[in-house]
Amino acid sequence: MMKNKKLLVKIIVPVLIAAALTAIWALKTHSTPTPIDPKTGNIADFVLEASSIDLESLKKYKYPIIIDFGADSCDPCKAMAPVLKKMNEEMQGYAIIKFVDVWKNSAASKDFPVQVIPTQVFFNADGTPYVPSEKIGIQFIKYASKDTGKHVFTVHQGGLTEEQMRAILADMGVKK
């Protein structure tokens, strides 16, 4: 009887340890953080298409933010639409990606420096305007407040490829 117990312990203990290690590995490598705080989150903040932008509401999530101002009927915007859709889906829990059709929702861009479409506006996870590193190799425009000279917006005018979006998100600190 004692031999059976020792044999059982020799088999069960290593199996349990292996199962625990496998579970820890699976949780660390395959878990996706949820972007929505169940107490304060709003699912509309994470939907790609928006008719308006509440920047302060988006900043409270502490994720990098990219807002694309374009139009469904603009050719460069149409070319960028699949990239935005893919990035929005992939970056849930890592970044907020939004699209505003300015021809359907002209008031939505009134607080942003949109001169041409498409134009993307970028904010870091801490809510400050994104400052691209030298290595990014993409042209950005930085806007400052007339009153204070403080940096308030970083924008890119024109379309972006998926590779460029990924490079920008990585430069913003997104590790996915």
pLDDT, averaged across the chain? 86
Look at residue 37 and give its three-state secondary structure. Answer: coil
Query: Cα torsion for 60, 33, 50, 79, to the nearest 10°?
Result: 130
Residue pLDDT, tens place only, 16-35: 566 566 656 555 554 444 44
2 pLDDT exceeds 90?
Answer: no
The per-residue pLDDT for 1 is 57
The yes-or-no verdict on residue 39 having pLDDT over 60 is: no
Query: What average pLDDT score do residues 54-68 get?
Result: 96
pLDDT tens-digit series, residues 140-171: 999 999 999 999 999 999 999 999 999 999 99
- Residue closest to 71 by CA, chosen among 130, 122, 114: 114
Residue-range domain boundaries for the chain: 1-31, 43-171
Q: Are 35 and 72 within 8 A, CB to CB?
A: no
Could you tell me the CA-to-CA distances from 49 to 68, 119, 128, 135, 153 in Å, in that order?
A: 10, 15, 23, 30, 21
pLDDT for 18 equals: 62
Does domain 43-171 correspond to CATH entry 3.40.30.10? yes
Inform me whether the pLDDT recorded for 173 exceeds 70. yes
Identity (one letter) of the amino acid at 118? P
